[in-house]
Amino acid sequence: MTRKQRRLILIGSSLGVLAIAVALILSALRQSIVFFNSPSDIVEQHVASGARVRMGGLVKPGSVARGADLRITFAVTDGKSDIPVAYQGIVPDLFREGQGVVVEGRMANGLFQADTVLAKHDERYMPREVVDALKKSGRWQEREGTQK
Amino acid sequence: MIPELGHYSLVLALALALIQSVAPLIGARANDSALMRLSNSTALMQFAFVALAFGALAACYLTSDFSVANVYENSHSRMPTIYKFTSTWGNHEGSMLLWVLILSLFGALVAAFGLNLPATLKANVLAVQAWVASAFYLFILFTSNPFLRLADAPFEGRDLNPVLQDPGLAIHPPLLYLGYVGFSIAFSFAIAALIEGRIDAAWARFVRPWTLAAWMALTVGIAMGSYWAYYELGWGGWWFWDPVENASLMPWLAGTALLHSAVVMEKRNALKVWTILLAILTFSLSLIGTFLVRSGVLTSVHAFANDPTRGIFILGILVLFIGGALALFAWRAPLLKQGGLFAPVSREGALVFNNLFLTTACATVLVGTLYPLALEALTGEKISVGAPFFNLTFGPLFIPLLAAMPFGPLLAWKRGDLYGAAQRLMAAAGIALVAIAVTYVAEGGDVTLAPFGIGLALFVMGGALTDLVERTGVFRLPFPAALGRAAGLPRSVWGTAVAHFGIGLTLLGIVSETHWAAERIVALKPEQSVVIRHYQLTFDGIIPREGPNYREQAAKFTVRSGGEVVGVMMPSKRTFMARGSTTTETALMTHGLGQLYLSLGDFNADGSIAVRIYQKPLVLLIWLGAVVMMLGGALSLSDRRLRVGAPKPAGRKPALAPAE
């Protein structure tokens, strides 16, 4: 084998692996990305039933109701729209009324069936998505956003 | 006084770094040995001053000096001493100080122990090291000064984020930074080689120990972070494909590739340009990781506070160093001479295969991590890319890599015998096939990935052992002869086998955890029991307890197996007084290599409590595998070959002893 042939094999196999990787990335992106929405987005854009989405906002005060078998329902609000959420399982430590939350799941008949509930990690700041959702609906005061 | 001293030390370190950025370069050009040697002293003194600065901040934390804003924000007088110390880096400013401390430590180590390096190479390496250091000193001094004072010193601090009040904080960040920052040495060597326009096998020999040391620290650092997340976050998961995790995984993948390509370069004088590029990319990924984690572009436990100026500053550093290094590479790399030839089927070929798949896998992680950020910046659309994406991309690329791994060490340099290697791997393949069959039957013919995963893991481990068996001839030769051969094997051979075996262990743990973890989420009232696998857990009641800076509601569970009491587990909820925040403390019970995992949820009005229970067989292998990988690295590091020309034990001492 000449040097040139060897180099061709090397370049060819590199491009082959790269092509496989690109194909994998593209197909995975089509299948598995999740869009983020505020409650208003969901109301206004009529997110398709069954599509997997993330939604962020505040847990509406007074909306949390717990049922049997660790079922919990609450409303997520961005001040303009509220979306009722149902979840079964254990909610994070920092899940509280009036606090920021991000839920992931699907919309079904006006009810958001969440399979994941994320609260913030630290009481000092909100998930950035929640801040942006609140800013969009005009409910965000910079004072709340300060870190100190 | 102490914080001002720390601040001043840092400024002095910056001044030294600025001198070191220029003087040795001029020295190397003009062949002025005095100027070149200057870099030794500045590197050592830089470390001394940064250590002083770090010590000053630690002293402020240990004495709970709340007149320092950083201490006020992140400490509490009633925290245990160990957490007072670790909270030094449990915040943005302090963790950046730790970053530069380790950076200057590596610089000092090169200065002190790189006695066998050619003078110009060493001078250039230390100069590049100083560029990086200067950039980060400026970053700290301008945007993240940990020594700022408050006008009125508050009486009490605001406490450290409760999630961080854990021994994990003492281990995970320092190890991770040792890894991240350790790759800066490989970067500096690469840039120095490009500046000189000359590179040879000796270069690889100089770089490899540093890369190996950094890789070992990063391996265990990542594993430790994973274990910490596993027991602290209470979801039973050990890897979330969170961007900050990816930020540490990417340098690891590139660094692993670099270790392997440096072998080719050292042994065969080939792949030089590629190795240089990998060295640049590995540290670039470390910088990108630092940017992702420290700039506040991501929401995570690791983002302490977001201040846009910091993000822009780090982005500037990133662009300067990555862009500059790649530009220099494009300009100078053609000067480097190409080395040895090899057939596609050969040890070199196998290592190229390894590099190809590792870097491609790394690229998919990079895409998955940056795509959401880029999309949001460009279109405002917010998406999240999670585990499914990575399972679909990273997984398929890693499987062929693992399957090919046992072949590599069995192939000869230059031209290998694939058929011969396959023959020698028959035993390992046989074990793997039996395991696949057994698992398949045990799973009731359920076609999942589990049998395949177990088979692959055993093949990887069997392959690692095959290499040792072949080389020692333990089944062919009389035992004493085999023992003699085993003792005569280079340590790096042992290191390779042990590290590869460790990967198999981790894979075994991952497969087992993914497929055979049992989960139960229930609400229990006192005296009620729940059964998971062969364990019966009885909830005895809530016991209130007091910690130094928190109050705790511990739930007592008695664990029985076959009617016998095997242990008591006490998961709890802690409420930290200063912040009024609550954390969940999981309880773990280890049995063999498996674990029983208990985490509390809400306390309900009817007196019941929500509990999440997992039984995870072989889960410890995930992290033990990483420790075994590190031991493999340590064995390899102790190989004489890597220390050839190293200073003799009783040799001359460096002009200045490194400060502790």
B-facing residues of A in 104-133 (CB < 8 A) are: 104, 120-125, 127-129, 132
In chain B, the residue whose alpha carbon lies closest to the alpha carbon of A104 is: B384
Contact between chains at B385 and A33 (C-beta distance less than 8 A): yes
Measured CA to CA, the distance from residue B143 to residue B282 in angstroms comes to 26
- Three-class SS string for B509-521? HHHHHHHHCEEEE
Contact between chains at A91 and B580 (C-beta distance less than 8 A): no
pLDDT of res. B653: 42
Residue B529 phi/psi, 5° resolution? -125, 160
Using CA atoms, how far residue B193 sits from B109, B261, B272, B590, B605, in Å, is: 19, 16, 11, 50, 68
Measured CA to CA, the distance from residue B132 to residue B435 in angstroms comes to 50
Give the CA dihedral A73, A74, A75, A78, nearest 10 degrees: -140
Q: Which of A36-50, A72-86, A93-107, B279-293 has the lowest mean pLDDT?
A: A36-50
**For residues B52 and B104, is the Cβ–Cβ distance under 8 A?**
no
Tell whether B123 lies on the interface with A, counting CB pairs under 8 A.
Answer: no
Of B62, B41, B57, the residue nearest B98 (C-alpha): B57
Contact between chains at B360 and A17 (C-beta distance less than 8 A): yes
**Residue given tokens 């509990």 in the structure block:** B611
Task: Kindly give, in sequence order, each residue whose CB lies less than 8 Å from that of residue B129, ignoring residues fewer than 6 positions away.
Answer: B20, B43, B103, B106, B107, B110, B184, B185, B188
ipTM surpassing 0.90, yes or no? no
Q: What is the pTM of this model?
A: 0.91
Contact between chains at A34 and B602 (C-beta distance less than 8 A): no
Instruction: For CA atoms B397, B403, B407, B408, give the dihedral sign.
Output: positive
Q: Quick one: how far is CA B379 from the chain centroid?
A: 33
The DSSP annotation for B49-79 comes to: HHHHHHHHHHHHHHTT-TTBHHHHHH--TTS
Contact between chains at B389 and A29 (C-beta distance less than 8 A): yes
Tell me how crowded residue B234 is: count the other CB atoms within 10 A of its CB. Answer: 22
What angle is formed at CA B341 by the lines to CA B335 and CA B347, rounded to 5 degrees? 120
- Three-class SS string for B159-222? CCCHHHCCCHHHHHHHHHHHHHHHHHHHHHHHHHHHHHCCCCHHHHHHHHHHHHHHHHHHHHHH
Measured CA to CA, the distance from residue B452 to residue B440 in angstroms comes to 9
Name the token pair of B659.
């400060």
Measured CA to CA, the distance from residue B272 to residue B265 in angstroms comes to 6
Mutation site for A-interface testing, chosen from B299, B553, B604 by largest number of A Cβ within 10 Å: B299
Tell me the chain A residues in contact with residue B393 when contact means C-beta distances shorter than 8 Å: 21, 24-25, 28
Measured CA to CA, the distance from residue B637 to residue B190 in angstroms comes to 20
Of B73, B521, B579, the CB nearest to A70: B521
Measured CA to CA, the distance from residue B631 to residue B650 in angstroms comes to 28
Contact between chains at A90 and B521 (C-beta distance less than 8 A): yes
Tell whether A13 lies on the interface with B, counting CB pairs under 8 A.
Answer: yes
The DSSP annotation for B314-357 comes to: HHHHHIIIIIHHHHHHHHHGGGSPP-----SSSHHHHHHHHHHH
Name the token pair of B116.
């066998």
Mutation site for A-interface testing, chosen from B301, B360, B384 by largest number of A Cβ within 10 Å: B384
Of B73, B522, B582, the CB nearest to A93: B582
Mutation site for B-interface testing, chosen from A8, A9, A32 by largest number of B Cβ within 10 Å: A32
The residue length of chain A stands at: 148
Q: Which amino acid is at B562?
A: G
Tell whether B271 lies on the interface with A, counting CB pairs under 8 A.
Answer: no
Tell me the chain A residues in contact with residue B163 when contact means C-beta distances shorter than 8 Å: 121-122
pLDDT of res. A137: 67
Residue B454: burial class (beta carbons within 10 Å; 0-12, 13-18, 19+)? buried
Q: Which residues of chain B have pLDDT under 70?
A: 296-308, 339, 446-447, 641-660
| Residue pLDDT, tens place only, B574-587 | 998 887 788 889 99
pLDDT of res. B552: 92
Of A9, A24, A94, the CB nearest to B393: A24
3-class DSSP state of B611: strand
The residue length of chain B stands at: 660
In chain A, the residue whose alpha carbon lies closest to the alpha carbon of B582 is: A93
Task: Kindly give, in sequence order, each residue whose CB lies less than 8 Å from that of residue B577, ignoring residues fewer than 6 positions away.
Answer: B159, B549, B550, B551
Give the CA dihedral B50, B56, B59, B60, nearest 10 degrees: -130
Q: Which amino acid is at B411?
A: L
Task: Kindly give, in sequence order, each residue whose CB lies less than 8 Å from that of residue B490, ignoring residues fewer than 6 positions away.
Answer: B639, B640, B641
pLDDT of res. A141: 53
Contact between chains at A21 and B381 (C-beta distance less than 8 A): no
Mutation site for B-interface testing, chosen from A13, A59, A90, A118 by largest number of B Cβ within 10 Å: A90
| Orientation of helix B2-30 relative to helix B92-113, angle to 10° | 40
Measured CA to CA, the distance from residue A27 to residue A31 in angstroms comes to 6
Residue B384 phi/psi, 5° resolution? -125, 140
Measured CA to CA, the distance from residue B248 to residue B229 in angstroms comes to 14
Tell whether B305 lies on the interface with A, counting CB pairs under 8 A.
Answer: yes
Of B14, B150, B25, B6, the residue nearest B88 (C-alpha): B6
* Greatest distance between any 2 Cα atoms in chain B: 82
Contact between chains at B344 and A9 (C-beta distance less than 8 A): yes
Number of helical H runs and strand E runs in chain A: 4, 7
Q: Does an H or E element contain B538, and which?
A: strand B535-546
Contact between chains at A122 and B161 (C-beta distance less than 8 A): yes
Instruction: List, in sequence order, every residue forming a beta bridge with A75; answer none if it has no partner.
Output: A84
Using CA atoms, how far residue A18 sits from A32, B318, B349, B529, B604, in Å, is: 20, 25, 17, 53, 53
Of B361, B383, B602, the CB nearest to A33: B383
| Residue pLDDT, tens place only, B113-166 | 888 889 999 999 999 999 999 999 999 999 999 999 998 889 999 888 888 899
pLDDT of res. B95: 93
Measured CA to CA, the distance from residue B487 to residue B105 in angstroms comes to 34
Measured CA to CA, the distance from residue B626 to residue B622 in angstroms comes to 7
Tell me the chain A residues in contact with residue B397 when contact means C-beta distances shorter than 8 Å: 17, 20-21, 24
Q: How close, in Å, is residue A7 to chain B by CA atoms? A: 9
**For residues B388 and A32, is the Cβ–Cβ distance under 8 A?**
yes
Measured CA to CA, the distance from residue B120 to residue B131 in angstroms comes to 17
Instruction: For CA atoms B114, B118, B120, B121, give the dihedral sign.
Output: negative
Tell me the chain B residues in contact with residue A132 when contact means C-beta distances shorter than 8 Å: 382
pLDDT of res. B302: 54
Measured CA to CA, the distance from residue B431 to residue B421 in angstroms comes to 16
Measured CA to CA, the distance from residue B362 to residue B376 in angstroms comes to 22
Q: Does an H or E element contain B619, and which?
A: none
Size of interface A-B (CB pairs under 8 A): 120
**For residues B174 and B82, is the Cβ–Cβ distance under 8 A?**
no
Mutation site for B-interface testing, chosen from A4, A45, A69, A70 by largest number of B Cβ within 10 Å: A70
Of A18, A20, A93, the CB nearest to B584: A93
In chain A, the residue whose alpha carbon lies closest to the alpha carbon of B573 is: A93
Pairing of strands A111-119, B383-385: unpaired
Pairing of strands B572-576, B564-569: unpaired
Of A91, A94, A129, the CB nearest to B382: A129
What angle is formed at CA B570 by the lines to CA B565 and CA B572, rounded to 5 degrees? 160
Tell me the chain B residues in contact with residue A45 when contact means C-beta distances shorter than 8 Å: none
